[in-house]
Chain A
Amino acid sequence: MKSIRSFTAMVLILALPAPALAQQHGGGGRPSGGGARPAPQARPAAPAQRPAPSRPAPPPQTRPAQPGYSLPHDTQRPPANAPSRPPNNNPGYRPPPPPAQRPPATRPPNPYYRPPNYRPTHPVVIVNPRYHGNPAWYWNRGVAWYPAPAYWGGGFWGTLAIAATSAAIFGYIAGSSGDQYVSYQVQPNSPGAQLLQAYSLTQTPCGPPNLVVIYGPDNSVICAYPNNLVSAGTYSVDPSTLTISSY
């Protein structure tokens, strides 16, 4: 029993100062390179442990009033009788922008291009010269890429949805039912830019004939000049392998 007591006392001595030590050293479990975090003393401590006169009053809006997070506007459902209307008692409410802020299509459809929902019976896969033979998502370092609905092309060609109206328009493509798809400039460092680079393709505005037309996620489309790897025609993209297949 004596050995248990002494061992317990030793563990207690080790355990109790741990938080204090960890706070003094900026959080014990952190990687060595993470030294740019603000110093722990910058964070306000418990008010009850500090003398009131020597400390300025904290900003009234910075203290959470309820456990966890408070997101009342986002978690409360609107009334059932007016599901889409903003609340009348909220003067600061601004209606969200419409999801599609693309400029209206003005060019006539070009019959050269096939519709994006067209599926060939015998697609021809053009292997990606850079990522061929590697497992899926290798091009994204093993991280599965998912299309983001809020962005044009799911973000495959870049983050264009926020400033879709200011993004460079790269021509138009005719859809199956006579509607048109706007093509935008591929953003650097996007998955689509990696695709073009892997196939040594250079983007060009859609419209003229004899181009490489690549349909990406979310009915997106871009065009490029043909080269020795990819001939003129219509292609679809497999994002997992960053491979294109001819229609």
Chain B
Amino acid sequence: MDMAQPPVAKAVLRAILPLLAILIFSVAQAGATGTVRVQQSDGSVRTYDDVSIRVKHNTLRIGSKDKKGVLVIDRAACSYVGELLRCLPTSFQLVQTGQTKTIQLTNGLVYLNLTDSPQQMTFSSKHMQPHALMLTLHTLRGTYITIRGQIDELQP
């Protein structure tokens, strides 16, 4: 009887692992609720819902719902305004279809609330919710990109 245990354990593991992966993936998908709004210089507007917002390895990564594209801010000048982290992004890239394309910025501003409590915004009556992100970018080609949402993943 004891000799039969290892194959059984292996079979159980084989059965569990894919299902566990499905479970984790499903929960992660349900958590991505950020919104990206892109207004091109010709006035056309597109909105991307359910984007994922991840802060990983000193980069801010905004992943599209279909996981085909990622907007990456990998360089920014950051300082704190009260409890809110304010960053002036300097490098912005679109990673899509296996290519990384740099998008030239005119200016931009990122606010992050990394605390666990709502924070009052400076010179505003608005509060930022815990782990919330607000981002506005203006590209050299005249595109306005605004991103709102909550951070889905935070890694140092």
Task: Check B59 for interface membership: any CB of A closer than 8 A.
Answer: no
**Would you call A150 and B105 a contact (CB within 8 A)?**
yes
Taken together as a complex, chains A and B put the C-alpha atoms of A71 and B33 apart, in Å, by 21
**Number of chain A interface residues as a range:** 35 or more
With A19-B27, A64-B48 in contact, is A69–B116 under 8 Å at CB? no
**Would you call B26 and A93 a contact (CB within 8 A)?**
no
Q: Which residue of B has the minimal Cβ distance to A11? A: B19
- Selected A-B contacts with CB under 8 Å, 22 pairs: A8-B16, A12-B19, A27-B30, A28-B31, A29-B31, A34-B129, A64-B64, A69-B69, A70-B46, A71-B38, A71-B103, A73-B42, A73-B141, A73-B143, A74-B103, A74-B143, A96-B141, A143-B80, A144-B58, A148-B90, A159-B109, A189-B80
B41 proximity list for chain A (CB < 8 A)? 73, 90, 92-94
Taken together as a complex, chains A and B put the C-alpha atoms of A26 and B58 apart, in Å, by 27
Partner of B23, one of A14, A147, A189: A14
**Would you call B78 and A18 a contact (CB within 8 A)?**
no
**Would you call B139 and A74 a contact (CB within 8 A)?**
yes
Which A80-109 residues sit within 8 Å CB-CB of chain B? 90-94, 96-97
Task: Check B36 for interface membership: any CB of A closer than 8 A.
Answer: yes
**Would you call B23 and A22 a contact (CB within 8 A)?**
no
**Would you call A68 and B69 a contact (CB within 8 A)?**
yes
**Would you call B44 and A61 a contact (CB within 8 A)?**
yes
Give the shortest distance, in Å, between B22 (CB) and chain A (any CB): 5
**Would you call B38 and A146 a contact (CB within 8 A)?**
no
Task: Check A48 for interface membership: any CB of B closer than 8 A.
Answer: no
Give the shortest distance, in Å, between A227 (CB) and chain B (any CB): 24
Partner of A15, one of B23, B36, B116: B23
Taken together as a complex, chains A and B put the C-alpha atoms of A203 and B142 apart, in Å, by 36
A231 proximity list for chain B (CB < 8 A)? none
**Would you call A143 and B130 a contact (CB within 8 A)?**
no
Which segment of A35-43, A116-124, A128-136, A178-186 sits at the interface? A35-43
**Would you call B42 and A33 a contact (CB within 8 A)?**
no
Q: Which residue of A has the minimal Cβ distance to B105? A: A150
Task: Check A53 for interface membership: any CB of B closer than 8 A.
Answer: no
Task: Check A7 for interface membership: any CB of B closer than 8 A.
Answer: yes
Q: Mark interface residues in B21-57 (1 if CB within 8 Å of A CB, else 0).
A: 0110011111111001010111111111110000000
Task: Check A162 for interface membership: any CB of B closer than 8 A.
Answer: yes
**Would you call A96 and B66 a contact (CB within 8 A)?**
no
The residue among A91, A94, A148, A194 with the most chain B CB atoms within 10 A of its own CB is: A148
**Would you call B96 and A68 a contact (CB within 8 A)?**
yes
B116 proximity list for chain A (CB < 8 A)? 31-33
A18 proximity list for chain B (CB < 8 A)? 23, 26-27, 30
**Would you call A143 and B85 a contact (CB within 8 A)?**
yes
Give the shortest distance, in Å, between A159 (CB) and chain B (any CB): 7
Q: Which residue of A has the minimal Cβ distance to B96? A: A68
